[in-house]
Chain A
Amino acid sequence: MLEIKNLHARIADDGTEILKGVDLQIPDGQVHAIMGPNGSGKSTLSYVLAGKEDYEVTEGEVLLDGENILEMDPHERANTGLFLAFQYPLEIPGVATMTFLRTALNANRKARGLDELSTPDFMRVVKQKAAELNISMDMLKRPLNVGFSGGEKKRNEILQMALLEPKMGVLDETDSGLDIDALKVVSDGVNALRDPKRSFLVITHYQRLLDHIVPDVVHVLSAGRIVRTGDKDLALELEARGYADIIADAA
């Protein structure tokens, strides 16, 4: 269960306030979607949850299963079970994708008091999960995300999530840059990870993604606050009427 309580955050550099009191509860097993116009604070929310230093939290709490993750370093949050799928996964030349996956998985296992996986065990797990996402072993030998297409990068994000098995997955505009086929593969990958003990926060501009990853609850974020909450039909209403109307109604 993720609980966000009265979360205020600003840009560390210039003090611009972006989140102005976000309240949100995502019970285990549920998928919540956050939609909202450009500049409403959607990506900021995802970065603040993951602990990016560019943002300062000025008020509020974020509890993951009762633990305040705002007091943790980014890697501790990840190892506590928070996973952020990046809108723009970064390219790291010189780090083989496989090395990266293995380092991350072992860091995670170490934090949970488990032994590191042996090479054969690791390879078996990766092979199986990669195959489900149509990721070739050849792709995993390449440097992390270097020269990957938009679709390959996003599939790689989902593969990381599948390996790390978080409690809470935050997907930041995972649909951006994807064609229809890639969208299907990525969504199927996410749906395969749906579990009564795992919840998701899906951030998106478009209702299209929510046809594939069907949310339990939809929130509308505007000017740093959640202004409407509804079921999946709210996404359809947004698609039909646009943000301006809905936000005007809420105000």
Chain B
Amino acid sequence: MNADLKRIRTEAETDLLEAFANAEDQLPGRAETHAARRARMALFEREGLPHRRIEQWKYTDLRTLVRQLAPLAAQTANASAPAPAVEGAVQIVLVDGFIMHHDAVPAGVELRSLRTALEEGAVELEGPSTADRAIDALNSAFVADGVIVSIAPGASISTPLEIVFLKSPSASMSHSRAHIIVGEGAQATIIERHVGGAGEAVQSTIVTRYAVAEGASLDVLRVQDDGAEAVHLGETAIDIAGDTAVRLMHLGTGAKIARVETRATFRGEGSRFDVCGVTMAARRQHLDHTLYVDHLVPGCESTETFRSVIDDAAKGIFQGKIVVAQDAQKTDAQMASDALLLSETADMVAKPELEIFADDVSCAHGATCGELDDDLMFYLLARGIPHPQARKLLLHAFLSEALETFDSHAFEDVALAAIEAWLTDHANADEAASAS
């Protein structure tokens, strides 16, 4: 006997299906694209939002965390982008997923509207419709606009390109997408800036896809600084060809609930990928960083270095999975996640995994979770440094150690400034709390 189990949809899940039904006509793309969109929605119709029974979503149960869905954002004409994170960066500004404006781009860089490309059938929304890829699926179903950035083969672009994913300050759901194609032997620096929403309940999916061709080199900085009530679902997928070097720095301080997935896939030999992440969470924030690195081919190296500081009743999650395929001999992969908990109610989950099918590799992973060391603290106090300042010094030291990949790089300055700003805000918030 087959028990026909009918799942009860949450309000958000019902609204999601309805939002798609209402919006579908206006979404760009030819018949194939629409079929792909509907295939993605069928997943949500069947499975609902990802929940704790799906292994990859165990610690970020969207069904529980997102009870209500905000209405789908319409295109807005006016919004003001923040000053570039790195001085002199060329900005490409998307508001709620729609291109608003962009600065003049240097020679060797070409921008295209994703909307136009979808309408012309020049781009398809490829990807699996499986529950573990819910962010991409949700984004693909709804995405209406976005940007395609192409770096010409051999071009060396010294000016950083900053893609600003701005959310307008009203409760709304938006879906943003960018495809970045780095040509053979090209060099580029990309900044993903996730901001806005003020204190409103903005909900967004943001997918960035990087295709890095042979011999190229790419540095990416991703700053997740969404507003305090935001739900941020981000996926960055990077395809790495042979003899390339990709570095990614992630700074996560924003949003109320954030799930960021980084997916790197080695497709050519002799490449390296270095990712470092700094997460700072307070209040009741829920910040999840989920990482997949697939070593499909031999002779590639990767390092994954994550540091988190969690305070108040916030929760940090790090899931990192390195897969080394049977053919991927001589792989070197080193993953570490270290966290400091600053309060009794702070929470951190770390789940590092190695799945190795090759037999001649050097792989390691480690995770630590602890409190600030009393002895170190006492050493600073004994030198006359007051408690808040001593704590700040130790936290700064702890977090900045994750940034070694970007030693003396412009990104390092951005990260150190972000760490400094968070610690200062935070020390002030603590002081205000203890004074009241």
Q: List residues of A whose CB falls within 8 A of some B CB.
A: 50-53, 73-75, 77-79, 84, 86, 89-90, 92-95, 99-100, 103-104, 107-108, 111, 143, 160, 164
A78 lies within 8 A of B381 (CB): yes
Given contacts A90-B376, A104-B384, 4 further A-B contacts (CB under 8 A): A50-B378, A73-B387, A90-B375, A94-B401
- Which listed residue (A78, A86, A93) contacts B384, Cβ 8 A? A78
* Residues in B neighbouring A86, C-beta threshold 8 A: 379, 382
A111 lies within 8 A of B384 (CB): yes
Report the bound CA distance from A107 to B390 in whole Å: 10
* Residues in B neighbouring A93, C-beta threshold 8 A: 397, 401
B383 lies within 8 A of A164 (CB): yes
* Residues in A neighbouring B381, C-beta threshold 8 A: 51, 73-75, 78
A92 lies within 8 A of B385 (CB): no
Shortest A111–chain B CB gap in Å is 7
Report the bound CA distance from A160 to B382 in whole Å: 11
Pick from B379, B386, B387, B400 the residue with the most CB of A within 10 Å.
Answer: B379
Q: Is B363 an interface residue (CB 8 A)?
A: no
Q: List residues of B whose CB falls within 8 A of some A CB.
A: 374-376, 378-387, 389-390, 393-394, 396-398, 400-401
Using known A-B contacts A51-B381, A89-B379, determine if residue A75 contacts B386 with beta carbons closer than 8 Å.
Answer: yes
Using known A-B contacts A94-B396, A95-B397, determine if residue A107 contacts B389 with beta carbons closer than 8 Å.
Answer: yes
Shortest B3–chain A CB gap in Å is 57
Report the bound CA distance from A143 to B404 in whole Å: 13
A160 lies within 8 A of B383 (CB): yes
Instruction: Give the 7 A-B residue pairs with the shortest CB-CB distance, closest first.
Output: A94-B397, A78-B384, A74-B381, A104-B383, A79-B384, A90-B379, A108-B384
Shortest A76–chain B CB gap in Å is 8
Chain B contact surface mostly: helix
Report the bound CA distance from A93 to B393 in whole Å: 11
* Residues in A neighbouring B398, C-beta threshold 8 A: 94
* Residues in B neighbouring A103, C-beta threshold 8 A: 385, 389, 393
* Residues in B neighbouring A51, C-beta threshold 8 A: 381-382
- Which listed residue (A52, A89, A90, A92) contacts B397, Cβ 8 A? A92
B376 lies within 8 A of A107 (CB): no
* Residues in B neighbouring A53, C-beta threshold 8 A: 374, 378
| Residue ID in chain A nearest B398 by CB atoms | A94
* Residues in A neighbouring B382, C-beta threshold 8 A: 50-51, 74-75, 77-78, 84, 86
- Which listed residue (B375, B379, B386, B396) contacts A107, Cβ 8 A? B386
* Residues in A neighbouring B386, C-beta threshold 8 A: 75, 107
Shortest A1–chain B CB gap in Å is 20
Shortest B360–chain A CB gap in Å is 32
Report the bound CA distance from A107 to B387 in whole Å: 11
B384 lies within 8 A of A107 (CB): yes
* Residues in A neighbouring B390, C-beta threshold 8 A: 75
| Residue ID in chain B nearest A104 by CB atoms | B383
A78 lies within 8 A of B387 (CB): no
Report the bound CA distance from A84 to B379 in whole Å: 9
B384 lies within 8 A of A95 (CB): no
Report the bound CA distance from A50 to B379 in whole Å: 10
- Which listed residue (B374, B383, B394, B401) contacts A78, Cβ 8 A? B383
Shortest A152–chain B CB gap in Å is 16
B378 lies within 8 A of A164 (CB): no
Q: Give 29 pairs: A residue, B residue, CB < 8 Å, sorted on A.
A: A50-B378, A50-B382, A52-B378, A53-B374, A73-B381, A74-B381, A74-B382, A75-B381, A75-B385, A75-B387, A75-B390, A78-B381, A86-B382, A89-B379, A90-B376, A92-B376, A93-B401, A95-B394, A95-B396, A95-B397, A100-B380, A100-B393, A104-B380, A104-B384, A107-B385, A107-B386, A143-B397, A160-B383, A164-B384
Report the bound CA distance from A103 to B394 in whole Å: 12
| Residue ID in chain B nearest A143 by CB atoms | B397
Report the bound CA distance from A53 to B374 in whole Å: 9
* Residues in B neighbouring A143, C-beta threshold 8 A: 397
* Residues in A neighbouring B380, C-beta threshold 8 A: 92, 100, 104
* Residues in A neighbouring B400, C-beta threshold 8 A: 94
* Residues in A neighbouring B394, C-beta threshold 8 A: 92, 95
* Residues in A neighbouring B375, C-beta threshold 8 A: 90
Pick from B382, B384, B389 the residue with the most CB of A within 10 Å.
Answer: B384
- Which listed residue (B378, B389, B393) contacts A74, Cβ 8 A? B378
